[in-house]
Amino acid sequence: MKKQVLDFLRTAFPFICVIVLWRLSVAFWNPAGILAIIPIFYCSFVRPVPWFALFSVIFCFLIDYRFDTLFYWTAAYCLFYAINGFQNFIDLSRLDKNALNVFTVFFGLATFLLALFEFNVSNMMRAIWLFAWTTTLYFPITALIKRVGNDR
């Protein structure tokens, strides 16, 4: 019985991680729950989890709802999902550092474009901070997901 519960928790951990990071929304540290994009990216592309793509689209929509952007993060996720599906040159599951460099391109480009929509110094500084903070937390969060899932 104990093994079944532990297996369930290991399987459910990526989903729980997204929910917790989205709910821990704080204006400066985690605006609109944007840190949930880390497990969304990791468990969709680097370490694919069954049924996670549909869950990711729903939570990207919820991030959009809190960010007050109309399908921006959802469209960015779906576009990257389509691009990743059509290419066969880069296997994200085999990249080192949990594909941090691909995440920085994905998140950096999306954040930069979002800052350009209403360009001013304050928005650009906020985008730089958001990019730096999110990419800094990428490795610890993905390492935790990896460790809980026993994917060493």
pLDDT of residue 152: 44
Q: Kindly give the confidence (pLDDT) of every residue in the chain, 152 residues in length, as a single tens digit, with 9 standing for 90 and above.
A: 889 998 999 999 999 999 999 999 998 999 999 999 999 999 999 999 999 999 999 999 999 999 999 899 999 999 999 999 898 888 888 888 899 999 999 999 999 999 998 899 999 999 999 999 999 999 999 999 999 986 54
pLDDT of residue 150: 67
pTM attached to this predicted model: 0.93
Q: Could you tell me if 96 and 124 are in contact, meaning their C-beta atoms sit under 8 angstroms apart?
A: no
Rounded CA separation 103/107 (Å):
6
- Tell me which residue has tokens 């093994």: 3
pLDDT per residue over 3-27, tens digit each? Answer: 999 899 999 999 999 999 999 999 8
Q: Could you tell me if 95 and 46 are in contact, meaning their C-beta atoms sit under 8 angstroms apart?
A: yes
pLDDT of residue 88: 80
